[in-house]
Amino acid sequence: MTTLVSGDALARADALLSEFNLSGDPLGLGGNPADHRVVVAMSGGVDSSVTAAALHRAGYDVVGVTLQLYDHGAAIQKKGACCAGQDIYDAKRVAEACGFPHYVLDYESRFREAVIEAFADTYLAGYTPIPCVRCNQTVKFADLLDTARQLGAACMATGHYIQRVAGPNGPELRRAADAGKDQSYFLFATTHEQLDFLRFPLGHLNKDQTRQLAEAFGLIVADKPDSQDICFVPQGRYVDIVEKVRPGASRPGEIVHVDGRVLGTHDGVIRYTVGQRRGLNIALGDPLYVVRLDAET
């Protein structure tokens, strides 16, 4: 194992791994961990980096994989979101420091078709998409899972905060121990077949514990802030993405009260979502909320 941290620091890491139930065979694969190859999906953030470092320290044959999901030239301009240029570099440096192999896979065309175009079309249809769910359904837990199997992995691990628990009919997904970090909402579409192959080692931890491990391992991402943005949407301006993918998406129309009165005009249904109150630019004295979007009219 190649490491950039001292023996004392590793001793601290080992103590934390034991305290946090991440020593021995935390993935439950049985036998000697060294006999099991584990592909870890690494976004370049602290959660997936700790997952990879902890499993490597536990003795598994870890292979880190990072996906390049959108244009690299644009990606290097956007720091702080998964699968961007800086984050790919961070994942690579974590792997080098720990001493396990790391690969970057170009999934740009798959991601555009399965996630970005679906994102735009969903807005055009008058709905509000959750692209992270779509990404997990298709690119990460379908295409990447197939790649992990081709690499001879016994399982694929991620840094998601969700718990995988053995149930009477096979593995079950349950909420993370840390309610503030729980990601079950984004993983509800995970299939039984996918769940058989997936592991989520951090599901029983809170974020402070994860950062403690990152510091003990000396990971360069230990203090890296969490990303709150959609990875392919610069500065949160999703409308720009929709208009770029589907030119002419901002077709104007009427804003209509539930009683039938026309209150004004808008610049395209892609700018609104059910429940929205701000940005309507209409003053009637009482608060107004979007209750329905009619994309056709």
* Domain ranges (residues) in the chain: 7-236, 250-297
Element spanning 98, H or E: helix 85-98
- What's residue 226's pLDDT? 84
Low-confidence stretches of the chain (pLDDT < 70) are 1-6, 71-84, 234
- What's residue 92's pLDDT? 96
Token pair listed for 123: 């807005």
User: What is the b/e burial string over 159-197, where b = at least 16 CB atoms within 10 angstroms of the residue's CB?
Assistant: bbbbbbeeeeeebebeebbbeebbbbebbeebeeebbeb
- What's residue 72's pLDDT? 47
Contacts of 110 (CB under 8 A, 6+ apart): 138, 139, 143
Distance set, CA 294 to CA 201, 224, 281, 297 (Å): 43, 41, 19, 6
- What's residue 24's pLDDT? 94
- What's residue 27's pLDDT? 97
Q: Give me the catalytic one of 82, 83, 135, 155.
A: 135
Token pair listed for 38: 């584990």
Element spanning 170, H or E: strand 170-175
How far apart are the C-alpha atoms of 191 and 244, rounded to whole Å?
33
- What's residue 3's pLDDT? 44
Which sign does the torsion angle of CA 84, 186, 54, 18 carry? positive
Active site residue 155: no
How far apart are the C-alpha atoms of 9 and 13, rounded to whole Å?
6
Token pair listed for 47: 């959660």
Active site residue 132: no
> How distant is the alpha carbon of residue 214 from its chain centre?
19
Single-letter amino acid code for the residue at 88: I
- What's residue 84's pLDDT? 57
Fold of 7-236: Rossmann fold (3.40.50)
